[in-house]
Amino acid sequence: MGAKRQNLLGKLFVYGVLILVAALWTLPTIGLLVSSFRSGDDVTGSGWWTVFANPSEANLSLANYRVVLGIAGEGDEGASRFGGEETLNLTAAIVNSLTVAIPSTLIPILIAAFAAYGFAWMDFPGRKFLFIIVVALLVVPLQIALIPILRDYIKLDLSGTFLGIWLAHTGFGLSLAVYLLYNYISTLPRDILESAFIDGASHFTIFTRLILPLSVPALASFAIFQFLWVWNDLLVALVFLGATPEVEVLTQRLLGMLGTFGADWHLLTAGAFVSMILPLVVFFSLQRYFVRGLMAGSVKG
Amino acid sequence: MSKAYTRDKQSVSPLEWLATNLGRLLVSLFVPGITFVVLWRVFIFLRDGQAPQWITAIVAIIWGVGGALALFFVANLVVDQFSDQWKKRLHPFIFVGPAIVILTWYLLVPTLRSVYASFFDADGEVFVGFENYVYAFTSPAMLESFRNNLIWLVFVTGLSVGFGLLIATLADRTKPAFETVIKALIFMPMAISMVGASVIWKFVYEFRPPGAQQIGLLNAIVTGLGGDPQAWLLMQPWNNLFLIAIVVWLQTGYAMVIISAALKGVPAALLEAGRIDGANELQIFFKIIIPYIRGTLITVSTTIILFTLKIFDVVQSMTGGNFGTQVIANEQYTQMFRAFHYGRGSAIAVILLIAVIPVMYYNLRQFAQQTEAF
């Protein structure tokens, strides 16, 4: 009887602590979400939690979202100041973020998959030495490359271009990609490849027809990892896109809004939430792949 | 064609040889030529483009990804024109070459160039010896950064791994559906950018003078309990801990997920044996579980240490490195892009590199141990 009661108390304690921690973890995000539906005066005049105290006076609307997306109507607060201006139109920044993030995810995967296959299934001089370099580069901080690469880019006219930032993200993500994909591709059963060779298939055919389809789980893991990384990146964007407003990505725009905010807290909240929607959707729909990717390669430079 | 060529190799006259190889030659020159022209044309279109932004975006994405694919196909096509022996020699270059070229250009050579530049002045013209390193180890901003980075390393790693371990262990004892929900909620911040997280936490730390309505959560709680509101982000040196809280909030989910997977791997028989021997839950935790998942704990800690060493976004967007919150990566950014002192910026980057060398060494040693199969 005593043991049973103690057991029940223990269970209550475990569930209680977990609910408390989860609430604590979620509270800041809920605050932001609620604030993003409030008017500018409300956001700066009272705490977001007052909405729950008297819901009848809450006065929530989607106005902030309309303003930051550049589709504000007549009645929306701030529309007259920001409605037509490019400075606050996050839609442009969203398109830029996508233009940066999609190729910056796919190009390194493509190059890394070829390389991983080469390291796993081809024989050539210097194979081991080159792979050791890949492993060594895993943890090199990308800060070491910023100045030299920026100098190259200024000479090549690549600073502030999409091509430049794709290549930069490719370079910085590639060693992890090769390492992860090698670990996966090298464990594929050898017989499949050998029978394909006997049938006269070339490396290229085997790679595109056989290895790529078989590697989808590993490719997906890295893709999610890299996409979230690029989408959320600030430093690389600041350095290689920094001076060119037309190509500014979401994180840069948000940083700018943070610096000049004060008067426009309510717009900042909507902007921040807009920047989170895509990663959250990707994250929750593909969580399993993401976790697998995290576990496979836990070191990145 | 290729088979016929090898069979008749001995007997062909120069003219026939030219005829059979003309096709190959044309393919090797013509296809890459066309590919490059097309890629170049689209590049010009994108660069000078007056098209609406979203059209440029779609064309750019197709061009970038398609271009990378096309280059692989073309390179393979060209190599396929060679004899079998050369094919065997050249194919690995197509597969591994691009990755090696990019890694060399983007990481390997820059490392050497940064080491070199760290011995030169602001513009990289005058050799200054160790002057930049003297600056890096004596200037007030850098000393402050070293102190803060050390605080960051200890607290972020300790708290993230600690909370992650606690939550994973507790969640392991609950119903699966409940465990999934709790873990998803705590893992969620991992998907958010650090700039986004900074916006979220501005609403926690916001300060209004005493008497005014507090709109920051933390000050609302403090005043609600009868205390005075504080400007949390200006309170030196405690403001570092408030910034650290943001990153702990982001990283705990990572630690939790990895540790949770390791916990599932602890054999139930081992725990059962401990219980039969009369160990209580705490003893089982510290004497059986912790030693069993030690490797995972080390990996998770190392990853978080590497991440925290380069912490940049949160400091840049919350305080800009002011009020005693400077960190190494932000000071490096400041030296490079505010002060335009390339020598100092490079020296600081080299210090970051030296800091990760033990981890690099460990990785290489691990690799060397598994390398029999390589």
- Across the range B310-330, mean pLDDT stands at 90
Any residues with CB less than 8 A from the CB of A189 and at least 6 apart, and which? none
Say if residue B61's pLDDT is above 70. Answer: yes
pLDDT value at residue B367: 81
pLDDT value at residue A269: 87
- If one compares A101 and A286, the residue with the highest pLDDT of the two is A101
Clarify whether residues A32 and A146 are in a common domain: no
The pLDDT tens digits for B173-210 are 889 899 989 988 998 898 888 888 988 998 899 888 88
Domain-embedded: residue A226? yes
Domain-embedded: residue A84? no
Domain edge (last residue) among A19, A50, A75: A75
Clarify whether residues A143 and A257 are in a common domain: yes
The whole domain housing A68 covers 2-75
Cross-chain Cβ contact A18/B170 below 8 Å: yes
Say if residue B244's pLDDT is above 70. Answer: yes
The pLDDT tens digits for A209-251 are 888 998 888 898 888 889 989 999 999 999 999 867 788 899 9
Task: Tell me the DSSP string of A235-299.
Answer: HHHHHHHTT-GGG--HHHHHHHHHHH-STTHHHHHHHHHHHHHHHHHHHHHSHHHHHHHHHH---
Clarify whether residues A94 and A34 are in a common domain: no
Domain-embedded: residue A147? yes
Any residues with CB less than 8 A from the CB of A59 and at least 6 apart, and which? A38, A39, A42
Task: Provide the percentage of residues in chain B whose pLDDT is more than 90.
Answer: 36
Domain-embedded: residue A301? no
Say if residue B7's pLDDT is above 60. Answer: no
Q: Is B178 on the interface with A (CB under 8 A)?
A: yes
pLDDT value at residue A105: 94
Chain B segment 281-310 residues within 8 A of A by beta carbon are 281, 299-300, 302-303, 306, 309-310
The pLDDT tens digits for B346-367 are 999 999 999 999 988 888 888 8
Judging contacts by C-beta atoms under 8 Å, the chain A residues touching residue B306 are: 139, 299-301
Task: Tell me the DSSP string of B149-194.
Answer: HHHHHHHHHHHHHHHHHHHHHHHTTS-HHHHHHHHHHHHGGGGS-H
Clarify whether residues A34 and A116 are in a common domain: no
Clarify whether residues A58 and A132 are in a common domain: no
Whether residue B321 contacts residue B235, with contact meaning beta carbons closer than 8 Å, is answered with no
Q: Is B96 on the interface with A (CB under 8 A)?
A: yes
For tokens 């893709």, what's the residue?
A: A223
pLDDT value at residue A300: 46
Judging contacts by C-beta atoms under 8 Å, the chain A residues touching residue B352 are: 141, 143-144
Q: Report the Cα–Cα distance between both ends of chain A, in Å, rounded.
A: 55
Exposed / middle / buried, residue A285 (Cβ in 10 Å: 0-12, 13-18, 19+)? exposed
DSSP state of A76: S
Clarify whether residues A42 and A178 are in a common domain: no
Cross-chain Cβ contact A162/B196 below 8 Å: no
Cross-chain Cβ contact B199/A269 below 8 Å: yes
Clarify whether residues A165 and A277 are in a common domain: yes
Which residue of B193, B336, B374 is the best one to mutate when testing the A interface, meaning the one whose CB has the most A CBs within 10 A?
B193
Nearest to A38 by CA among A267, A217, A194, A279: A267
Domain-embedded: residue A124? yes
Judging contacts by C-beta atoms under 8 Å, the chain A residues touching residue B219 are: none
Nearest to A253 by CA among B190, B188, B199: B199
Domain edge (last residue) among A38, A53, A75: A75
In this structure, what CATH number is given to the domain that contains residue A270? 1.10.3720.10
Clarify whether residues A97 and A225 are in a common domain: yes
Q: Is B161 on the interface with A (CB under 8 A)?
A: no
Whether residue B130 contacts residue A160, with contact meaning beta carbons closer than 8 Å, is answered with no
Cross-chain Cβ contact B99/A255 below 8 Å: no
Note the ipTM here.
0.86
- Across the range A192-214, mean pLDDT stands at 84
Clarify whether residues A173 and A275 are in a common domain: yes
Exposed / middle / buried, residue A48 (Cβ in 10 Å: 0-12, 13-18, 19+)? buried
Element (H, E) at A185: helix A162-185
Which residue of A9, A11, A143, A299 is the best one to mutate when testing the B interface, meaning the one whose CB has the most B CBs within 10 A?
A143
pLDDT value at residue A76: 61
Clarify whether residues A161 and A183 are in a common domain: yes
Cross-chain Cβ contact A96/B57 below 8 Å: yes
Domain-embedded: residue A130? yes
Name the range with the highest mean pLDDT among A240-254, B11-25, B301-315.
B301-315
The pLDDT tens digits for B103-146 are 999 999 999 999 999 999 888 888 998 999 999 999 999 999 99
**Residue B140, preceding peptide bond in cis (omega within 30° of 0):** no
SS3 A161: coil
Whole-model pTM: value is 0.87
Task: Provide the percentage of residues in chain A whose pLDDT is more than 70.
Answer: 89
Number of folded domains that form chain A: 2
Cross-chain Cβ contact B360/A207 below 8 Å: no
Clarify whether residues A95 and A35 are in a common domain: no
Clarify whether residues A132 and A209 are in a common domain: yes
Domain edge (last residue) among A75, A100, A119: A75
